[in-house]
Amino acid sequence: MASRPPDSAPESVPLLRRISDNARTPDRVPLQRRVSGEGVELGPDNANSKMQQPPPSSSSRDDNAALRLWGAKFALTGVSAMTAESVTFPIDITKTRMQLHGEGQAGQQVSFLRAGSTIVQKEGFFGLYRGVSPAIARHVPYTGTRVILYEYLRGRFTKEGEKPSFLMRLGMGFTAGGTAQVIAVPMDLIKVRMQADGRLVASGELSKPRYSGLVDAMRKITAQEGVVGLWKGSVPAVQRAAMVNLGELATYDTAKQMWLGTGLVADNVYCHVLSAVCSGFFASLASTPADVVKTRLMNQSGVYKGSIDCFVKTAQTEGVRGLYKGFLPGWARLGPWQLVFWVTFEKLRHVTGVGTF
């Protein structure tokens, strides 16, 4: 048997290695995919492969980022609103009792301190928090929608680098507030009724509160009055919310720019406090008559035909002062509410990097 030449073995190794290396080079790999600008082409050796999706466009990524930003703003608004509502709710229920006191009777007035002390004496300290759950639940969709919608409209209808006029701010605040309240009317209705129950029980008109809580109230109202019953008094409620935000959002936005323009304060907590005080006063001044009408319509059972009828009857029976029942506690509540809300909201936006309002 002839022996192999001694020099043939060393050459065989490089040859096999070259074959193996060439098998791994791109030109020897079966064509699987060729991605073109118009789609994906499958090669002959991979005809049954799944189509490779083109990468997302930059506009799609921008849209997703914008949605996440607005979502973050909405969440921060909800947290800030719930904080403000929890702190100021006792003032709100006292204001509501003042507005319902002496309804339909001339000259029936009660002071803020008297109304508050009566609640504590007859219902205990926690009577000041009756109806707090629907109040807090209301502010998540309500305040979240109105503030974010106002900010969106401000950016949508003003050019970059320009500031909207005061009249435009009034219109944006009016629109944002009315739109948000349409969503929040059921929670507002339940809050008013639960706040009124304590007074009715104390006076003997009811043996016990009509509702044990938020879910119970929603179930009973729907069963007795239908789904539409959850929107009873929606017209004055929307009117009141539109007027509140006409005064609140427009005034806060304008006051903030005014204070920053003076150079006396920077965009910090001092500026936010000063702007919130101005906002609370003008919001109360613009909205109290609508607030009185809304409260009475939501709590009534056939006394008034509508918001205009309620407005006229209140003015005729109780005078103009009747339309401003609860103005001082309303301002006393809106002032601190605005203060807590705007300071918390602006601080959270700064900490999370969302940017100032």
- pLDDT(336) > 70: yes
Nearest C-alpha neighbor of 354 from the set 60, 57, 80, 86: 80
- Please report which confidence band the pLDDT of residue 53 belongs to, taking 50, 70 and 90 as the band edges: low
Residue 34 in domain:
no
Buried b (16+ CB within 10 A) or exposed e, 39-78: eeebeeeeeeeeeeeeeeeeeeeeeeeeeeeeeebbebbb
Nearest C-alpha neighbor of 155 from the set 269, 276, 270, 69: 69
Contact 356, 343 (CB under 8 A): no
* Cα Dmax for the chain: 133
Residue 106's domain spans which residues? Answer: 71-352
- Is the pTM higher than 0.75? no
Q: How far is CA 283 from CA 119, 145, 186, 253, 314, in A?
A: 26, 18, 22, 13, 21
Q: How far is CA 189 from CA 65, 217, 257, 284, in A?
A: 36, 10, 35, 20
Amino acid at 161: G
Per-residue pLDDT, 126: 85
Residue 203 in domain:
yes
Please state which of the ranges 87-96, 148-157, 159-168, 325-334 shows the lowest mean pLDDT: 325-334
CATH number at residue 228: 1.50.40.10
User: For strand 40-42 and strand 33-35, is the pairing parallel, antiparallel, or unpaired?
Assistant: antiparallel
Contact 292, 243 (CB under 8 A): no
Q: Measure the CA–CA gap between 304 and 210, rounded to whole angstroms.
A: 21
- Please report which confidence band the pLDDT of residue 291 belongs to, taking 50, 70 and 90 as the band edges: confident
Amino acid at 255: A
> How many domains does one find in the chain?
1
Residue 47 in domain:
no
Owner of token pair 């997703």? 64
Q: How far is CA 268 from its chain centroid?
A: 23
Q: Is 31 left (phi over 0), alpha (psi -120 to 50) or beta?
A: beta
Give the model confidence (pLDDT) of 58-110 as tens digits: 677 777 888 889 999 999 999 999 999 988 888 888 877 777 766 555 555 67
Residue 175 in domain:
yes
Residue 2 in domain:
no
Q: Where are the alpha helices (DSSP H) in the chain?
A: 8-23, 58-100, 112-123, 132-156, 166-202, 214-225, 234-262, 269-299, 307-318, 320-323, 327-352
- pLDDT(286) > 70: yes
Q: Measure the CA–CA gap between 76 and 227, rounded to whole angstroms.
A: 30
Residue 311 in domain:
yes
The number of residues in the chain equals 357
Residue 30 in domain:
no
Residue 55 in domain:
no
Q: Measure the CA–CA gap between 100 and 329, rounded to whole angstroms.
A: 14
Q: Measure the CA–CA gap between 133 and 265, rounded to whole angstroms.
A: 37
H-helix or E-strand containing 303? none
The strand pairing partners of 68, in sequence order, are: none
Give the model confidence (pLDDT) of 125-137 as tens digits: 888 888 788 888 8
Among 115-119, 138-142, 251-255, top mean pLDDT goes to 251-255
